[in-house]
Amino acid sequence: MGSMIKATALVTDNGFSAIDNATRAGLDCLQQAGIQPQQVGLLINAGVYRDDNIMEPSIASLIQRNMNMGLDFAADSPNQVTFSFDVVNGACGFLNAVTIADAFLRNGSVEYALIVCGDAHPSKTDHPEFPYVAVGAAALLHLSTAAADANKGFGPFAYRSNESDCLSHISTYGDLAQFGHQGRAQGQFQFSNQYVEEFRRLNVALINEFLAQHEQPRVDFLLGSDLEAGYCHSVCASSDLKRQPTRAMELFEHFNGDTHTAAPIAAFHQLQREVANPSGLSLLFHAVGSGDASACALYRS
């Protein structure tokens, strides 16, 4: 029994504030699920880029406030509280956040966990140097107690980074000494020429290792990172997934760019549009990004 996705939401036409996009996606997601904000015990923001380069408080706490969630401590309902924080690990942040939320849910520490993702340039504008598409995404997780769901949900998970002596093929940062008084509205984005090749190598190696370790489970769809047109397809074609009719969920062309931390949710969202009844499908979520690091997780819907 693993954590199940109760609802997802994706926001694509809401401007360039990471906080606003995640807030709207979070609210849409709860509305779809028919869940009140107060029922969410854990809120994790897995977006990397921060409006105005805010270092504190957590971006999650600002999204939580904008969602009218856990605003204050109420003596008459002291157990109805929300805890929120940011998880940061490039494109792998969402799957790291699912690993964390899954632990909280399995331990019975919370009933619902909401993960929000999405990136935007710190200036909150459509900045030409920003390498990702500004979207907001949200996924609401819970643990189903229904007998029919016994073999459903997330798990197992896998994670791997590249060799210790290899540098990350993406480096993004804010150099405050160089930015002068414009530090809130700037970022620096460096990508090595081989980053797509190197990410694919790591991505494929992890998937092959995962499939071998778990006796080649059936995978109907590969959902997640799509770094350039055809990337996700190429991961399917060059990994052991080619031995089965796994379908790669194309995102890059659909969204006109890399949806980065939001990619796994965006792909799941897309799947729900394309497949009338996703029940019984076996999905492999994957992510690859800076570090370099790659993550994957099986999900049985």
Partner 1 sequence: MTMTRFESIGVYLPEQEVTTRELIDSMDTEPMFDLEKLTGVKSRRWRAPHEDCHSLALEAIERCLVNSRYEADEIDVIICTSITRFKDGLKFVLEPCLSSYLKKRLGMREDALNFDITNACAGMFTGVHVLDQMIKSGVVRNGLIVSGECITPISETALKEINNPVDEQFASLTVGDSGAAVLMDQSPSDDEGVEFLELLTLSQFSDFCYGMPSDKNPGVAMYTKAMEIHATVIQRLPQTLGHFAEKYQVSGADFAHVIPHQTSERAIRSALALCSESLGDIPNICVSLDRYGNTSSTSHFVVLNDHIQQGHIQPGQRILMLVLASGIVLGVASVRIGNLTGAH
Backbone φ and ψ of 48, nearest 5°: -90, -45
DSSP 8-state class, residue 167: P
Candidate residues 26, 136, 153, 187; the one interacting with partner 1 per rule CB under 8 A: 187
Q: How far is CA 35 from the centre of its chain?
A: 21
Q: Which is nearer to partner 1, 8 or 23 (CB)?
A: 23
Nearest approach, Cβ of residue 209 and partner 1 (Å): 9
- Between CA 238 and CA 206 the distance in angstroms is 12
159 binds partner 1 (CB under 8 A): yes
How many angstroms separate the CA atoms of 111 and 94, rounded? 19
Q: How far is the CB of 150 from partner 1 (least distance, A)?
A: 17
Instruction: Report in angstroms how near the CB of residue 115 gets to partner 1 at its nearest.
Output: 13
* 39 counts as binding partner 1 under rule CB under 8 A: no
Instruction: Please report whether residue 298 would count as binding partner 1 according to CB under 8 A.
Output: no
The CB density around residue 232, as the number of other CB atoms within 10 Å, is: 26
Which 8-27 residues touch partner 1, going by CB under 8 A? none
**90 is written with which tokens?**
């490039």
Select from 4-12, 22-30, 41-49, 271-279 the region that touches partner 1 (CB under 8 A).
Answer: 41-49
Strand, coil or helix: 225: coil
Q: In the set 62, 143, 263, 266, which binds partner 1 (CB under 8 A)?
A: 62
Give, as ranges, the residues between 63 and 102 that touch partner 1 (CB under 8 A): 64-65, 69-73, 75, 78, 81-90, 92-93, 96, 99-100, 102
Report if residue 145 touches partner 1, rule: CB under 8 A.
no
Nearest to 94 by CA among 115, 114, 109, 111: 115
Report the length, in residues, of the chain.
301
Do 3 and 142 touch, CB atoms closer than 8 A? yes
Q: Alpha-carbon torsion 165, 169, 170, 173, what sign?
A: positive
Closer to partner 1 by Cβ: residue 114 or 248: 114
40 binds partner 1 (CB under 8 A): no
| Residue from the set 143, 170, 207, 296 that interacts with partner 1 by CB under 8 A | 170
Q: How far is the CB of 273 from partner 1 (least distance, A)?
A: 30
